[in-house]
């Protein structure tokens, strides 16, 4: 009887640990099938191209396809909800961007909470913006521009791709910190022709999109939005040098459904860090205007939460509502 009892207890103990085995095994064998990286933006935009560079390199490193799945619309909330509702098995990932942190405060009736329902997996990098004006504006420096704007309230127009876009809220933060009165003009297509023609006078833009015009003298660069100067525009000051405490950058990284196993997060973070450390990949990202930045998952999670809190204050100040 004792022998039988011991066999029973051993069998019971083995059965108790069985539910944990598939989860651990899945982490060890990952990936065994294609992985989908959901992108809430149309193909061809800088974050989308960055995601494709990372996906291609992960495919090569891990031996399974990492497929970019563009799901634009709903201010990227369609893509985020798709990721939130996916199985947390590492086979559906989400390209997370600065817009996600901004939209979390603009859209109040979402069926998900960006910070609660998306796990931070890995940072990819940041995208510095630059403040450019039409040369007809009588200001050679940012300090002169602020003085001119204060002397001419409501007479300077700035463009953006839409209400709540990074280009929009970065200017709203600038307005909040300087007290200038600028008029927002949202566009559904490129703002650059109207800026070059002087129909709008100001734009906070991702650097690659306006660098050629800056170098040709068609636009005047006043400052970059990052905390420090950037290599591609070494003589252009940071806004922080004139407006202490100002900082705003585009950024991108990888997220996943909240219950993804820690083992998979560790694996993905390690592999993505290795990808962006590769000199060839770094060069491609930098050429896009993305400065590669690695973060541990816990640090990236804190960063995303801080971004949501930061932009919620700007959204409230500016009274930004969904379109």
pLDDT digits (tens, 9 = 90+) for 275-292: 999 999 999 999 999 999
CA distance 308 to 247: 14
Instruction: Provide the residue count of the chain.
Output: 323
The predicted structure's pLDDT at residue 28: 64
All residues at 6 or more sequence positions from 127 whose CB lies less than 8 Å from its CB, including other chains? 46, 47, 206, 207, 249, 250, 251, 252, 289, 290, 291
The predicted structure's pLDDT at residue 73: 86
The predicted structure's pLDDT at residue 93: 98
* 3-state secondary structure at position 1: coil
CA-wise closest residue to 272 among 64, 127, 126, 123? 123
Do 128-241 and 14-126+250-318 fall under one CATH topology? Answer: yes
The predicted structure's pLDDT at residue 15: 40
The predicted structure's pLDDT at residue 188: 85
| 14-126+250-318 CATH pick, 3.40.50.2000, 3.30.300.30, 3.40.50.300, 3.40.190.150 | 3.40.190.150
The domain spans of the chain are 14-126+250-318, 128-241
Q: Helix axis angle, 262-277 relative to 279-288, nearest 10°?
A: 80
Kindly give the parts of the chain with pLDDT less than 70: 1-28
What does CATH list as the number for 128-241?
3.40.190.10
User: Is the Cβ–Cβ distance between 37 and 62 less than 8 Å?
Assistant: no
All residues at 6 or more sequence positions from 291 whose CB lies less than 8 Å from its CB, including other chains? 125, 126, 127, 128, 230, 285
């Amino acid at each position: 009887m004792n022998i039988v009892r011991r066999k029973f207890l051993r069998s019971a103990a083995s059965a108790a640990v069985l539910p944990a085995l598939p989860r651990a095994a899945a982490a060890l064998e990952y990936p065994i099938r294609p992985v989908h990286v959901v992108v809430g933006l149309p193909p061809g935009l800088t974050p989308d191209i960055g995601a494709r560079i990372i996906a291609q390199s992960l495919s090569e490193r891990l031996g399974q396809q990492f497929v970019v799945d563009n799901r634009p619309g709903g201010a990227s909330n369609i893509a985020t909800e798709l990721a939130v509702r996916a199985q947390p098995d590492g086979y559906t990932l989400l390209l997370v961007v600065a817009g996600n942190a901004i939209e979390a405060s603009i859209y109040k009736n979402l069926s998900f909470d960006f910070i609660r329902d998306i796990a931070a997996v890995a940072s990819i990098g940041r995208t510095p913006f630059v403040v450019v004006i039409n040369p007809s504006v009588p200001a050679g420096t940012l300090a002169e521009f602020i003085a001119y704007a204060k002397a001419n309230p409501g007479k300077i127009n700035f463009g953006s791709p839409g209400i709540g876009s990074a280009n929009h809220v970065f200017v709203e933060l600038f307005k909040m910190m300087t007290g200038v009165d600028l008029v927002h003009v949202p566009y559904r297509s490129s703002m650059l022709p109207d800026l070059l023609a002087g129909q709008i006078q100001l734009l906070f833009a991702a650097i690659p999109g306006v660098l050629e015009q800056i170098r040709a003298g068609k636009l005047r660069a006043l400052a970059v939005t990052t905390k420090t100067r950037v290599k591609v525009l070494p003589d252009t000051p940071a806004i922080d040098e004139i407006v202490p405490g100002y900082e705003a950058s585009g950024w991108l990284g990888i997220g996943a459904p909240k219950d993804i196993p820690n083992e998979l997060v560790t694996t993905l973070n390690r592999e993505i860090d290795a990808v962006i450390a590769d000199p060839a990949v770094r060069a491609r990202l930098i050429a896009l205007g993305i400065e590669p930045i690695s973060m541990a998952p816990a640090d990236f999670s804190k960063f995303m939460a801080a971004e949501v809190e930061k932009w919620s204050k700007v959204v409230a100040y500016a009274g930004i509502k969904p379109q």
